[in-house]
């Protein structure tokens, strides 16, 4: 059994490569990355960036989770989160059973408010609370839509499915996340809600972005825009359209399409200028701040780390902004700082991510990779970094 120091993405890449009897040079050639980079990743001396993981996984015909090691079951058990996953699976499987006559159901307005509160809980990164709440709320909403069907209740159920997807992704259960999006599409169709349908396609596209399947991701973004054709010119529709452009921008960046990246970022900026900060509109966090964060992400995709540090350094989060998005920003900025050899600043950003969103950061593969790389780069490992490494299970 590998020691914690040996159990990282690089060792998993090497294991899968050897199973297929590929040399390092052959894998690097097929994946379109340099042999030097692959060697450093396999040895653990360089973190496996998200684009490298996606390229290698696609080349080896394995899932991204096979290489990241997700879900991180030991830590999930320590945090008493593992036991909450199975009830979520059961709740997702109730969709076609109709009403449950033995279930007490709250009034519609309370259920709609509960679904909205659940979205807020996920974005505040209170994952244990969200996972604990989800099964009962999904079951209650499922019964409610069969008893008194209506667009508002179907939309609330679709929102609860979306929250299930978001929790599953954050905890590393991508199979569960896929089922949740299927259910979300079913509820959005029943609700005749084009905005919910468009958000669902955006979420699907992000899944393919993580796997490096950029062409499929862009097709899903296009499908999302098609749904918006009947949504009108409302602020909510503009926010969803802008978020779709942000999704298209990062997909273009991963596909090394610089012109497409800039085009979609510019279109997102135009939408953000009209909506302003629209963080609560379908809980997408869309607005000028999110455009800047996605510009940072695209710069990292192009390995323009110095520019990413410069752009991300000027971010100021609006009051009440999504903790989830803020924590991701700090992790990505930590990675860019580490790549520019500013290790102490990188550590500071990671500490901030842990402080504001501990449950999310602990299960975020890029955070673990960056922490692992920081440990290897620091000759005298600070106590803070040692604690971080132990905390994520390294």
How many structural domains compose the chain?
A: 3
Instruction: Quick: pLDDT tens for 171-213.
Output: 999 999 999 999 999 999 999 999 999 999 999 999 999 999 9
Residues 169, 236: one domain?
Answer: no
| CATH number assigned to the domain comprising residue 53 | 1.10.260.40
Output the pLDDT for position 2. Answer: 42
Please say whether the beta carbons of 328 and 364 come within 8 A.
Answer: yes
Output the pLDDT for position 7. Answer: 67
Tokens of 54: 């996606």
Confidence of residue 1 (pLDDT cuts 50, 70, 90): very low
Instruction: Quick: pLDDT tens for 260-270.
Output: 999 999 999 99
SS (H, E, C) 294-322: HHHHHHHHCCCHHHHHHHHCCCCCCCCCC
Residues 174, 262: one domain?
Answer: no
Output the pLDDT for position 375. Answer: 87
Q: Which residues contact 40 (CB under 8 A, 6 or more apart)?
A: 46
pLDDT greater than 80 at residue 380? no
Residues 184, 222: one domain?
Answer: no
The domain of 31 spans 1-69
Q: Is residue 346 part of a domain?
A: no
Q: 199 versus 388: which is more confidently predicted?
A: 199
Instruction: Quick: pLDDT tens for 151-176.
Output: 999 999 999 999 999 999 999 999 99
Confidence of residue 6 (pLDDT cuts 50, 70, 90): low
Residues 305, 241: one domain?
Answer: yes
Tokens of 145: 């839509």
Output the pLDDT for position 381. Answer: 60
Mean pLDDT of the chain: 93
What number is the average pLDDT over the span 131-140? Answer: 97
Residues 279, 179: one domain?
Answer: no
What number is the average pLDDT over the span 78-93? Answer: 94
Residues 45, 114: one domain?
Answer: no
Output the pLDDT for position 78. Answer: 92
348/340 Cα distance (integer angstroms): 14
Residues 44, 103: one domain?
Answer: no
What pTM value is reported for the model? 0.92
């Amino acid at each position: 059994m590998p020691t914690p120091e040996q159990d990282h993405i690089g060792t998993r890449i090497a294991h899968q490569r050897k199973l297929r009897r590929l040399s390092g040079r052959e894998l690097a050639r097929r994946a379109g990355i340099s042999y030097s980079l692959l060697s450093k990743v396999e040895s653990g001396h360089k973190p496996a960036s998200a684009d490298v993981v996606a390229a290698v996984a696609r080349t080896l015909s394995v899932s991204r989770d096979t290489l990241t090691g997700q879900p991180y079951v030991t830590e999930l058990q320590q945090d008493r989160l593992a036991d909450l996953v199975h009830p979520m699976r059961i709740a997702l499987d109730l969709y076609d059973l109709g009403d449950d006559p033995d279930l007490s159901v709250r009034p519609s307005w309370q259920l709609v408010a509960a679904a909205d509160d659940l979205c807020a809980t996920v974005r505040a990164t209170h994952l244990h609370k969200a996972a604990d709440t989800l099964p009962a709320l999904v079951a209650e909403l499922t019964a409610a839509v069969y008893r008194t069907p209506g667009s508002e209740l179907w939309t609330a159920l679709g929102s609860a499915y979306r929250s299930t997807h978001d929790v599953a992704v954050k905890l590393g259960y991508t199979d569960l996340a896929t089922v949740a999006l299927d259910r979300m599409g079913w509820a959005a169709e029943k609700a005749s809600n084009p905005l919910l349908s468009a958000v669902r396609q955006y979420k699907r596209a992000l899944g393919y972005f993580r796997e490096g399947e950029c062409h499929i991701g862009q097709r899903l973004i296009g499908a999302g825009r098609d749904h918006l054709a009947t949504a009108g010119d409302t602020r909510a529709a503009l926010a969803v359209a802008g978020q779709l452009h942000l999704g298209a921008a990062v997909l273009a960046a991963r596909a090394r399409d610089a012109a497409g990246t800039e085009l979609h970022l510019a279109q997102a900026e135009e939408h953000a200028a009209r909506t302003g900060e629209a963080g609560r509109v379908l809980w997408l966090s869309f607005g000028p701040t999110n455009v800047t964060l996605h510009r940072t992400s695209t710069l990292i995709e192009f390995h323009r780390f110095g520019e990413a540090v410069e752009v991300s350094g000027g971010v100021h989060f609006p009051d009440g902004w999504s903790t989830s998005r803020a924590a991701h920003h700090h992790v990505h900025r930590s990675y860019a700082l580490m790549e520019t050899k500013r290790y102490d600043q990188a550590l500071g950003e990671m500490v901030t991510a842990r402080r504001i969103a501990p449950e999310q950061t602990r299960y975020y593969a890029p955070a673990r990779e960056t922490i692992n790389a920081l440990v290897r780069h620091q000759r005298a490992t600070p106590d803070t970094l040692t604690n971080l490494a132990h905390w994520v299970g390294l």
